[in-house]
Structure 1
């Protein structure tokens, strides 16, 4: 559905799986029937199902809109707060918390009930959006995005889970298609709406818009969805099933990894005690996290069995970290290049970015059809990686005066590449795993992509800022400290008063600095393609494809 979709990382209780069938294979049929019997009594009549689906469409439209509407507003936000060096944290904060919390929603929905969990997600998303809209500084904005990420992690996954549970299997594809269409529409129109708000109202409306949509969605969900918590359990037992230690360790090592990447070379030198200490903390927390997950957790976020069943899953997980870094790098820094490097308005930048999002959606659909018909996925993944790397490499050729055809064309090439790569990689990770592990494998692919996004936005922000510090004096050798500071902070109040030659020199410096971001993305997608080439081919059947789709829905 989306390259940033969230899915449950945790799965069935291991003891229960063992009790059912220790040697179950994803190509056996026996485990299917009990599940259908279990959820038969949860199916809703169409009189309730249709309004529920419409409310879920509203939720997903809002979540998709939020992912793309904010990226176009970032240059204006950086200018208003004089905080270009910290602007990457607006994206990283959201991705960080959504990555850390997405694994809990699927688990908690079966413990506390679907209604409570989607309302929980909507509350945090709307509260975080309100803080962002009212932010009086970059710190408040970053905190708001982090809170919104807690909710954003659950909105997408809970909508998928609810449709799977309450829809009869023969109608499930229709309703999944409807909410998928709502997500695609939100993704496509987000840049355009974000640009219009930024140019004609204020960037704060990129966050305000979530409030009325979210409130209507919450009221609708509350009215039509009944709650079903885990039967025969107390609240204490329900809370006891959550992997608190795993979640805290996950959040800890990701933060300890991102902070030195963000601060290194700007706030602190790379060999400073602070940076070295943070990397050491990251290493310790990561090792402890792996040990706890593989040795002690009863219901781990990342079970060891997924990594040992075949070489495909770990290779694809690593490749999706690189793909997530690359996708978010393009989503966050191409709009900055359009506005700060080419002098476009936010509205124009949003319009020009829409083809990239449409290309991702179309290529995801096309590749899914190809895989379903021909039962091959490895070539799709490799071709996608090559196209994505090629698109990013071509973007590095952009200049301040590049024509519109090369701008749109290169984005379309990259977008098609990312769509093919993500879809093909998902099937590659799913193909060798046992049936009971399909939801976990599917969730880990999304998790790794989200984690890569959080890492990528931070790394590319540091790279851009450091390169801008280097290239700006070359383009403005006689500039005053005030002009240099304004250029580094993207302070439009000062930049708009400068002569056109000076503004053009600053624009050229931005383009040159961002060129290194595209170099990095090209290298990352090249590495991801090599990892995809190292995967093996596990023969698929039509029944396997059906089970994969059901695993994504589950």
Structure 2
């Protein structure tokens, strides 16, 4: 049926296209949509799994290569790549199409994971983890973009809740699966066993992901020219140099006069300044939109994302270590203690998505359940060797459930302030959660061991205990007691840092206003021909859907039509014909 939006005259090119009609994202069959989602979410699960997989593999890997003090790089290299390369995939979705960009990300992640399993030294493993992270971040981005194509803003709350269910399962099961496989088959198989599921994802998306996203044409060259290469590169060097500084100064315990320490610190500061200048003056579509830093809501969302992610990854990477070094359990048993976290994160994500879908609001559930992580991390911090099984197994449940609700509700806040902006802070928080907590842990552990161990061979003993966590269980009773106490104090410092970060995140979210997520009626879904092909809702779409025009939305609307755009994941107006090669083509 014709509507007021349909053109009165149909030109020749439109007639030609109608002869070879490809369905839009809202016109595809239910079975096709479910096939797409199965392919996307299976890759999402693997991407999330790989963020935490190494948490219980660290002792085994570091003991084999005898480089426990470098083990944190196995986490930070993956997260650093995901943080800096994630925003680029929003642009690649315009050039390569949804299918092409997603399959590029999945292929890179699969190659990196395969190289992890075949690594012969720590350096090769770290590089392989970085490669895997380059694809892992893109998997999340392309999945979010594709899902947003197929559902209206109100329905996305529930759909993204289901997507977050797979993310939560992946993050939560990474530790248990890694520990179980490491104990029985060796740590390499924790990576190699993922290959069939990567292939499964590629097959499903190749067969099903063939819809067309309509819009005004932009050539691939135009889209590529708008990618923020300078910002991504300078951010990569700045954060990477900061990680080198933290590793060399606190993990390696080098002096301030060491070139590795002061040069890496200088590079981190210099490239951070370059990053800011690029974002302010050069980038056509900056990752970190400068004008958003002048507004209350974007800044508060960014701060919350950073602190919540810092808390999450501090706990997920160091919680299993407490059971391996203090309670002296096996890697698989240590990993199993993350299973309640996996379950609670999955339930929390689904619950938040369902509540937002049902009520159209997210402020109240954020206020109520946002305090849960602080309760959970407080219980974890108070854990002792003689603590009961309830505290050891269930303390992490409020943390996982609360953080899942917070991240899911903050996802809706991103839509009004620019998705790329929120992703940068979340990515930095993930990197910081591993790097900062690792530096704190190693520094505190070195101090505790040196203050308790004395004698001629004290320095050598301290170094061995720091470099191999699995050595703790093999020490003499006297040294073992010292090592376990030192690890307990050091890990408690990490958990205290996580408690402070989640408490500050809750305070930061208090002033964020509520938003109406739109009408629930299905008949209000826009037609495929009327939809913009945006990766996630732009500021304009959010304002229209919510009926709002507040102080936080108007500045974004005023930017439209200018030379620079500010949401990296908001796509250009381009036609994406995924069936004919997935490239953007002019209308």
With structure 1 as the length reference, what TM-score do the two structures score?
0.81
Counterpart of 1:6 in structure 2 is none
- Alpha-carbon distance change, 82 to 541 in structure 1, aligned in 2, over 3 angstroms: closer
Matched, 1:244 2:229: yes
Q: Give the alignment partner of residue 161 of structure 1, picking from 145, 151, 170.
A: 145
SS in 2 for 1:264: helix
Matched, 1:189 2:173: yes
Counterpart of 1:19 in structure 2 is none
Alpha-carbon separation, structure 2, partners of 1:377 and 1:173: 10
- Once the 2 structures are TM-superposed, how far is the Cα of residue 65 of structure 1 from its aligned partner? 2.5
- Once the 2 structures are TM-superposed, how far is the Cα of residue 512 of structure 1 from its aligned partner? 1.3
After superposition, what is the alpha-carbon deviation per residue over 1:25-44, rounded to whole angstroms, capped at 9, x for unaligned? xxxxx99x9xxx99963543
Matched, 1:114 2:90: no
- Once the 2 structures are TM-superposed, how far is the Cα of residue 470 of structure 1 from its aligned partner? 1.1
Counterpart of 2:61 in structure 1 is 77
Map of 1:192-341 to 2, 5 A cutoff?
192-226=176-210, 235-265=220-250, 266-270=252-256, 274-308=260-294, 310-341=295-326
Higher helix share: 1
Contact conserved, 1:325 with 1:454, CA < 8 A, in 2? yes
- Once the 2 structures are TM-superposed, how far is the Cα of residue 267 of structure 1 from its aligned partner? 3.9
Alpha-carbon separation, structure 2, partners of 1:139 and 1:313: 38
- Alpha-carbon distance change, 139 to 120 in structure 1, aligned in 2, over 3 angstroms: same
- Once the 2 structures are TM-superposed, how far is the Cα of residue 456 of structure 1 from its aligned partner? 2.0
Alpha-carbon separation, structure 1, partners of 2:237 and 2:172: 34
Alpha-carbon separation, structure 1, partners of 2:118 and 2:341: 30
After superposition, what is the alpha-carbon deviation per residue over 1:493-514, rounded to whole angstroms, capped at 9, x for unaligned? x555433443333222211111
- Once the 2 structures are TM-superposed, how far is the Cα of residue 152 of structure 1 from its aligned partner? 0.2
- Once the 2 structures are TM-superposed, how far is the Cα of residue 335 of structure 1 from its aligned partner? 0.9
- Alpha-carbon distance change, 541 to 64 in structure 1, aligned in 2, over 3 angstroms: closer
- Alpha-carbon distance change, 472 to 239 in structure 1, aligned in 2, over 3 angstroms: same
Alpha-carbon separation, structure 2, partners of 1:488 and 1:143: 23
Counterpart of 2:506 in structure 1 is 529
Counterpart of 1:540 in structure 2 is 516
- Once the 2 structures are TM-superposed, how far is the Cα of residue 93 of structure 1 from its aligned partner? 0.4
SS in 2 for 1:41: coil
| Structure 2, unaligned runs of 5 or more | 8-17, 526-533, 539-568, 571-587
- Alpha-carbon distance change, 311 to 238 in structure 1, aligned in 2, over 3 angstroms: closer
Alpha-carbon separation, structure 1, partners of 2:203 and 2:349: 32
Contact conserved, 1:316 with 1:532, CA < 8 A, in 2? yes
Counterpart of 1:150 in structure 2 is 134
- Alpha-carbon distance change, 284 to 543 in structure 1, aligned in 2, over 3 angstroms: farther
Contact conserved, 1:66 with 1:206, CA < 8 A, in 2? no
- Once the 2 structures are TM-superposed, how far is the Cα of residue 88 of structure 1 from its aligned partner? 1.0
Contact conserved, 2:372 with 2:398, CA < 8 A, in 1? yes
Alpha-carbon separation, structure 1, partners of 2:331 and 2:416: 39
Contact conserved, 1:294 with 1:304, CA < 8 A, in 2? yes
Alpha-carbon separation, structure 1, partners of 2:469 and 2:39: 41
Counterpart of 2:559 in structure 1 is none
Matched, 1:488 2:472: no
- Alpha-carbon distance change, 74 to 283 in structure 1, aligned in 2, over 3 angstroms: same
Q: Give the alignment partner of residue 63 of structure 1, picking from 30, 42, 47.
A: 47
Between 102-111 and 187-196, the greater mean CA deviation after superposition = 187-196
- Once the 2 structures are TM-superposed, how far is the Cα of residue 384 of structure 1 from its aligned partner? 4.6
Counterpart of 1:362 in structure 2 is 347
Query: Highest CA radius of gyration, 1 or 2?
Result: 2
Alpha-carbon separation, structure 2, partners of 1:411 and 1:313: 29
Alpha-carbon separation, structure 2, partners of 1:420 and 1:170: 17
Counterpart of 1:101 in structure 2 is 85
Kindly tell me the number of residue pairs found equivalent between the two proteins: 510
Cα-Cα RMSD:
3.6
Counterpart of 1:15 in structure 2 is none
Q: Give the alignment partner of residue 395 of structure 2, picking from 382, 406, 410.
A: 410
- Alpha-carbon distance change, 539 to 146 in structure 1, aligned in 2, over 3 angstroms: closer
Alpha-carbon separation, structure 2, partners of 1:173 and 1:394: 31
After superposition, what is the alpha-carbon deviation per residue over 1:474-529, rounded to whole angstroms, capped at 9, x for unaligned? 4444575554332111264x555433443333222211111111121122223223
Counterpart of 1:462 in structure 2 is 439
Alpha-carbon separation, structure 1, partners of 2:22 and 2:428: 32
Matched, 1:126 2:110: yes
Contact conserved, 1:367 with 1:423, CA < 8 A, in 2? yes
Counterpart of 1:387 in structure 2 is 372
Counterpart of 1:18 in structure 2 is none
Counterpart of 1:53 in structure 2 is 37
- Alpha-carbon distance change, 274 to 47 in structure 1, aligned in 2, over 3 angstroms: closer
Contact conserved, 2:344 with 2:400, CA < 8 A, in 1? yes
- Alpha-carbon distance change, 403 to 102 in structure 1, aligned in 2, over 3 angstroms: same
Contact conserved, 2:161 with 2:349, CA < 8 A, in 1? no
- Alpha-carbon distance change, 178 to 418 in structure 1, aligned in 2, over 3 angstroms: closer
